[in-house]
Structure 1
Amino acid sequence: MRSVSVKELVDNTHLSVFSGADDLDRPITTSDISRPGLELTGYFAYYPSERIQLLGITETSFAKHLEEAELQEYMTKMCQPDTPAFVVSTDIEPPIELVKAAKAAHIPILESKLNTSRVLSNMTDYLEEKLAPRQSIHGVLVEVYGVGVLITGDSGIGKSETALELVKRGHRLIADDRVEVHQQDEQELIGQAPQILSHLLEIRGIGIIDVMTLFGTGAVRSETRIDLIIHLDVWEKGKKYDRLGTGNAHQQIFDVEVKQLDIPVKPGRNLAIIIETAAMNFRANSMGYNATKMFDDELNGLIKDHSQPQSPQQHDEGQ
């Protein structure tokens, strides 16, 4: 199970530590955030103790109307062994009963000047990215004209050399050899390089090169959305390939289907230019322009015109 420490959350979401600075190594294992309203009424049947507990104006205002002993009891019940942290928003002073219970259970209390909605959004966005399931894919990820292109194919087929040519042509490298992929939302995949391989490219016969050092910071990115998969396939005589762009191949990664193009590789083919063209064509299709569909429509129109029987007048005019 993936986890994020409370300290990492503090460092990346504009939170500050109110108490429990020595307990920031507690793990967070879910991106779900709980707002303990029912718990302040004494209802603990479905208390999600493994979540971060966020208290805003509503929760703290309600807590002020409870008896001290009653509130202390509820706060103590909220401090479970798997509770990562409490977060108090809107620059509110945490209830003293919460401070006592959290200190006894070694659970940190975090605070923020931001309103509850903003704090909730910041924490959820960060945790969803860090805790999302990840898949390692063998390939090269580049950004071409703003389109994230994942290049796949057998070892030695020329993926890294093609990426190098694309970098020289002004495009950007994200990852070589291994691409770490996670799903950001229902329709979007994000790819990045493992930390040890960041900015590096392996070229057979040369070795490992640092793309950022050789070509500058504009030649690399830390991550990008995966929009298109281009699979490099060794050209075989007699094998049928899509020549008109009518194929509808997709590859499913997690819950997202990504369009895939199979490109035959043979001596003399400039793969960098082909991938550039594929990226531009993908952008055109995304904007509603489809050259293949336009060609099919015009061709069907011509066939229809020639297949219709001519009237006697049209026949005479034709003669």
Structure 2
Amino acid sequence: MFILFCIITTKLTAQTWIDVTQQYIQNPSFEDYTACPQSNSAYPGSMWIDSVVGWYAPTQGTSDYFNACNTFLNGVPSNWIGSNVPSFDGIGYCGFLSYSLEPPNYSMWSEYIQSTLIKPLKSNTSYRFTMRIKRANGFNFAVQNIGANFSENANTGFSGTKPYNLIPTVLNTSGFLTDTLGWTLVSGQFIATGNENYLTIGWFGDTISSDFIFFIPPDIDTTNGDSLFLTETYYLVDSLTLSELIFDIENFNVNIITPNGDGKNDYLDFSVYDLKKLSFTVYNRWGNKVFNSDNAQLKWNGKNNDGKQLSDGTYFYLLNATLESGKQITKHQSITILY
């Protein structure tokens, strides 16, 4: 569990990231299936991606499924991509063409995977989403704009295989995804609106012209000397996680406050916690009580009970809180006021 103490915002609180993957995302490492994949997907009759429990292809793009239950083309770790392509964890992963120009008309082709969330995300709540991405060896270019989109609607109304022109909720920020050996972490934080019911993963862009880097030299047209590129690249995805940021007074450990009105660390905010009762008392270095409150919604900005700003210096506080669950929390330590 990762604990974060905010020191660069208007209010000071203790916050904790908790793993809520299993509460929201079905089959997050693609382990479970209804049928072992026997080959790559083919629309419409052999969409093996649809055999992944909780997941499916939202368009006619033929995303693929790989699992150790298969020992040939779509196995793990050996498959049509290579003889040693292990998963990040477990025995399964999914694959998709992020972008391709398909002959004879060289129309755009992008593939996606999608899932219905177990329940909607919470309104006005901070989440952190992560996934592992690997570029498949043997394809001649790489892209950057691999991401994830949390949406209210399923986005399945798109016909054909054109890329989604959507703004992703989480987007890769580590540059071109070129690694074919390791799994690259793609992660991001966002605040949910509360209407998110679906998760879609793939390439998010409206043109490839600004999102590609080539690895394999082009063929040369012997008639005119033009360079001929096969524009196609394929990615694997594994190990999805979702964490929720909660306010956690049990880890409250704030020791500085700067109530100078600059919008940074101006006050201690107890209103964000699920408190039934609160007793908060501040003492100066001589042990004299300079402030106390029983307000469970308290936002203390360094003033005494007469409303006057306390002087710079070190003080001590005693915090007794009762959670709605009835659990008692006691904290006592120093706190410094700076202007």
Instruction: Give TM-score, length-normalised by structure 2.
Output: 0.28
Higher RCO, Cα 8 Å, sep 6+: 2
- Greater helix proportion: 1
- CA radius of gyration, larger in: 1
